[in-house]
Chains A and B, each alone.
Chain A
Amino acid sequence: MLLMEVIMEEAGAFSGCSSTTAVGDRANFMYDWNEWETVSAEEWALLPSAGVVADDFHELVEAMMFSTGDDVFQGPSAVGLESVSHTASYNSSPSSMASSEDEAAVVSRDDKGARLVDLLVAAAEALEGPQKCPELARVILVRLKELVSQAAATGGATSMERLAAHFTDALQGLLDGDVGGGGRRKGSVRHSADALTAFQLLQDMSPYVKFGHFTANQAILEASAGERRVHIVDYDIAEGVQWASLMQALVSRPGGGPPPHLRITAVSRGGGSRAVQETGRRLAAFASSVGQPFSFSQVRLEPDGERFRPAGVRLVKGEAVVMNCILPPTTTTSSGSTQSVASFLSCAAAIGARLVTLVEEEAEETPGEAEPVVEQKGSFVGRFMGELRRYSAMWDSLEAGFPMQGRARGVVERVILGPWIAGAVGRAYKEAVSGEQKEGRWGEWMAAAGFGRVEMSCFNHSQAKLLLGLFNDGYRVEEEGCNKLVLGWKTSRLLSASVWKPPLPPPPPPPPCLDSSPLPLPLPLPLPLGAFDSYEISDFFYD
Chain B
Amino acid sequence: MFPAASRKPPSTSMNSASHERSPMCVQGDSGLVLTTDPKPRLRWTAELHDRFVDAVNQLGGPDKATPKTIMRVMGVKGLTLYHLKSHLQKFRLGKQPHREFNDPSLKEAMDLHRNTASSSRIMGRSMNESLHGTEALRMQMEVHRRLHEQLEVQKHLQIRIEAQGKYMQSILEKAYQTLAADQGLGYNKDQVGGDQVGFVQDTMGFHDLQLFGGGDLHLDNLHQVHLNQPLDHGLYLTPNDHPSSALIGKKIMATSHDPYITNPNEKSPFNWDDEDDDDDNLHVGKQEELHQNIGNIAPGLIDAAAANGRRMVVDVYEAKPMISNAGGSEGSTKMDRPSPLRDHPLSMEGINAMLIGGSFAQ
Contact = CB atoms under 8 A, between A and B. Distances in A.
Interface of A: 191-194, 196-197, 199-201, 203-205, 210, 213-214, 217, 239-241, 244-245, 247-249, 251-252, 254, 256, 282, 285-286, 289-291, 401-408, 411, 458-459, 462-463, 466-467, 469-473
Contacts of B74: none
Given A411-B199, A458-B149, A470-B226, A463 B157 contact: yes
A407 B238 contact: yes
Contacts of B206: 204
Interface of B: 63, 149-150, 152-154, 156-157, 159-164, 166-168, 170-172, 174-176, 178-179, 192-193, 195-196, 198-200, 202-203, 206-207, 219, 222-223, 226-227, 233, 235-236, 238-239, 241-242, 271, 274-275, 278, 282, 285-286
A214 B282 contact: no
Q: Which of B63, B164, B195 counts the most A-chain CB atoms under 10 A from its CB? A: B164
Q: Which of A204, A403, A467 counts the most B-chain CB atoms under 10 A from its CB? A: A204
Contacts of A252: 156, 159, 275
Contacts of A462: 149-150, 153
Q: Which of B171, B227, B239, B282 counts the most A-chain CB atoms under 10 A from its CB? A: B171
Contact of B192 (A194, A291, A471): A194
Q: Which of A248, A403, A459 counts the most B-chain CB atoms under 10 A from its CB? A: A248
6 contacts: A210-B161, A213-B164, A248-B163, A252-B275, A407-B195, A467-B157
A485 to B, nearest CB: 14
A205 B156 CA distance: 20
Contact of B164 (A244, A401, A403): A244
B167 A193 contact: no
A249 B167 contact: no
Nearest to A244: B167
A200 B171 CA distance: 10
A249 B159 CA distance: 8
Contacts of A191: 175
Contacts of B159: 248-249, 252
Contacts of B179: 193
B172 A194 contact: no
A43 to B, nearest CB: 28
A241 B199 contact: no
A487 to B, nearest CB: 15
Given A241-B164, A245-B163, A193 B176 contact: yes
B199 A197 contact: yes
Q: Which of A459, A469, A470 counts the most B-chain CB atoms under 10 A from its CB? A: A470
Contacts of A406: 238
A456 to B, nearest CB: 13
Contacts of A290: 163, 278, 282
A407 B156 CA distance: 32
Contacts of B149: 458-459, 462
B160 A289 contact: no
Nearest to A248: B163
Given A193-B176, A197-B200, A201-B236, A285 B153 contact: no
A466 B170 contact: no
Contact of B233 (A201, A213, A217, A402): A402
A405 B159 CA distance: 27
Contact of B282 (A204, A217, A254, A291): A291
Main secondary structure of the interface of A (DSSP, over half): helix
Contacts of A285: 170
A204 B170 contact: no
A217 B167 CA distance: 16
A194 B193 contact: yes
B161 A239 contact: no
B142 to A, nearest CB: 13
Given A204-B203, A407-B239, 8 more contacts: A196-B171, A197-B199, A240-B167, A282-B171, A282-B174, A401-B226, A407-B238, A466-B153
A197 B201 CA distance: 10
A146 to B, nearest CB: 25
A361 B275 CA distance: 37
Contact of A194 (B162, B196, B219): B196
Contact of A248 (B160, B199, B202, B239): B160
Contact of B226 (A196, A239, A466, A471): A471
Nearest to B177: A193
Nearest 8 Cβ contacts at the A-B interface: A248-B163, A244-B167, A245-B160, A256-B274, A405-B236, A408-B236, A407-B238, A193-B175
A90 B196 CA distance: 41
B172 A196 contact: yes
A408 B164 contact: no
Contact of A197 (B203, B226, B238): B203
A466 B154 contact: yes
Contacts of A251: 275, 278
A462 B239 CA distance: 37
Q: Which of A241, A402, A411 counts the most B-chain CB atoms under 10 A from its CB? A: A411
A192 B175 contact: yes
A200 B203 contact: yes
A204 B237 CA distance: 13
A213 B163 CA distance: 12
Contact of B171 (A239, A291, A463, A466): A239
Contacts of B241: 404-405
A440 B351 CA distance: 45
A405 B193 contact: no
A352 B297 CA distance: 47
Contacts of A471: 222, 226
Contacts of B196: 193-194, 197, 411
A158 B63 CA distance: 28
A471 B203 CA distance: 17
B175 A201 contact: no
A148 B127 CA distance: 65
A403 B205 CA distance: 19
B160 A459 contact: no
A289 B282 contact: yes
A469 B223 contact: yes
A291 B278 contact: yes
A203 B167 CA distance: 13
Nearest to A283: B167
A205 B242 CA distance: 18
Contacts of A199: 168
Given A289-B282, A469-B223, A201 B163 contact: no
Contact of B172 (A193, A205, A247, A405): A193
B254 to A, nearest CB: 19
A274 to B, nearest CB: 14
A466 B168 contact: no
Contact of A210 (B150, B154, B164, B175): B164
Given A247-B163, A289-B282, A467-B157, A241 B168 contact: yes
A406 B236 CA distance: 10
Contacts of A213: 164
B286 A289 contact: yes
B235 A204 contact: yes
Contacts of A194: 192-193, 196
B102 to A, nearest CB: 21
Q: Which of A193, A194, A241, A254 counts the most B-chain CB atoms under 10 A from its CB? A: A193
Nearest to A242: B164
A78 to B, nearest CB: 40
Nearest to A459: B153
Contacts of B226: 401, 470-473
A132 B164 CA distance: 47
A56 to B, nearest CB: 15
B170 to A, nearest CB: 7
B162 to A, nearest CB: 8
Contact of A244 (B163, B200, B207, B274): B163
Q: Which of B179, B226, B241 counts the most A-chain CB atoms under 10 A from its CB? A: B226
B163 A470 contact: no
A201 B160 CA distance: 18
Contacts of A201: 199, 203, 236
Contacts of B163: 244-245, 247-249, 290
